[in-house]
Structure 1
Amino acid sequence: MAEAVKYAPNPSNNPSNNSKQGKDEWSTVQYKRRKIINRRGVAQPLEQFNFKAAERKISLYVSRVHKETTPGDIEAFIKYKTDLNVQVYKINKINNEFNAFKVIVPLNSVDLFLNDNGDRFWPADIVFRKFWERKQVGNKRSLKRSLQEIVQLCNSHHIIALQETWLFPHDLGLLNTIHKQFGSHGVSAVDTEQGMVRGRPYGGVALLWDRNIFPNADIVQCNNDRMVAVKLVRGDRSILVFSVYMPTDCEDNFPIMTQCLANISATVPCPG
């Protein structure tokens, strides 16, 4: 219950009350808090309708793993012992003598991997626990600190548009190393020719595309550090894809927004 202190005159101050006069007092008022409670359905899904809940998953932290062990090795190990298909991602650590991994498993099977069962499941001296997800507040992550999430996107999508990469011009080659199956094109918003750069990098946009799906790609020059464009070809068809970082919605940014729209208009070929 939420409490609030409210000034209330003593009923004895009411002229219509014949009781003895008393001093004014403070009273505590209680209000019932409104809570949003999620409920879960219990009915069995109907086979004739493609309507069912997504599988619930949980992340585990697995550490003190040998440097030569790969995510594929761990996935194969878990598949052999449980017949479960899981996802494993390496967590980048600097100057460590061992590797750490994030392992995503079905929630209904988590007991196989934790507590006493986990002691018997994982190889000797492997450290394991639940993975604590850190919530990001605001835009505080660069492309370099988001590589794991971008790789996950590449595993499930064919075209990725990136903004606020915070890459210097000499760092743009990093885009080609994110995923061996993906091509890339990006621009940096940092002008390193104006002398020493103070503070963190800023801006930057990029596009990634699956070369197995789009084997032919042509880079389209936009002459604007807020956008990149690529013409992707598949068979006898092609599409023009943009990644545009528009300015915030305020009157002072109107010239920048107009320039972005003009660049897009100049880049898109006229029909006919």
Structure 2
Amino acid sequence: MVLNKAKFFLVCLGIASIKVFSQDSVNKFELKGEIIQGGLIWGVASNVSEIYLGNTKIKTDSAGHFIFGFDRDDTDKQSLKIIYKDNQIDFKVLTPVKRSYNIQRINELEQKYVSPPKELLEKIEKETKIIAEARLLIDNTDTAYYLSGFMRPVEGGRISGVFGGQRILNGEAKSPHNGIDIALPAGTPVYAMADGVVRLKGDDFHYNGNFILLDHGLGLSSVYVHLLKTFVSTGEKVTKGQKIGEVGSTGRSTGPHLHWGVQWYKKRIDPQAVLDLEK
């Protein structure tokens, strides 16, 4: 294999779009997205054989489309290696920009507001296992359903919770907020952000209430939580803009809103990064 030294890149800042061509104009790739914590990168490569992000092989579809993202807490440089069918290599070093997150400390709370009661632990453990099993199916999807493009899953509303924030309750750090909360009246339609497959329609889960987990292909997924109603079934194919549910306040929720989350495999992605790809 040949590493074209002219094609070695070091990127330390977020980018809007990159297009790079190899010298023979046959081997080429394009990246679009922002290199930042919680960012999502869309890519396509021609004449491609394999793609690696660090030591992890990235899935591609038959046309060379691929996608990858940076977790909320990713700080290390990531090497992107694109190997073409003629054994030429493009190599790119990506350094995600560090973000600042809102950290809220609340003390002297009753314990029931910090940790769930013991009688619910078995139910929560069972539900966690169900979600994990559904996500295994997402890990194995080779179709890039997301090529339909992306859209906001609700119209209007107030952003009541941003990506990445975290609460520390009585000194105990809770899980960061891995999505966006959009406050809207109960019954407001919720739409699929892109084409995909329903991997799980959950009912009456302790934390999520009624929710839908969609698989958009090549490791990309989205989740719609606290729904009043759901209109799809596990295993069903959906299209971008299809009504899949209604805003509610089920599960652990204090009022009607949609919690909208996005992941690339286990990487927690800011949903706003998905919408930014459409700009």
Query: Do the two structures share a fold, i.e. TM-score over 0.5?
Result: no
Task: Give the TM interval when normalised to the shorter protein.
Answer: under 0.3
Larger Rg: 1
Quick check: which one's strand share is greater? 2
With CA pairs under 8 Å and 6+ residues apart, which has the higher RCO, 1 or 2? 2
Quick check: which one's helix share is greater? 1
TM-score of the aligned structures, taking structure 1 as reference length: 0.23
TM-score of the aligned structures, taking structure 2 as reference length: 0.23
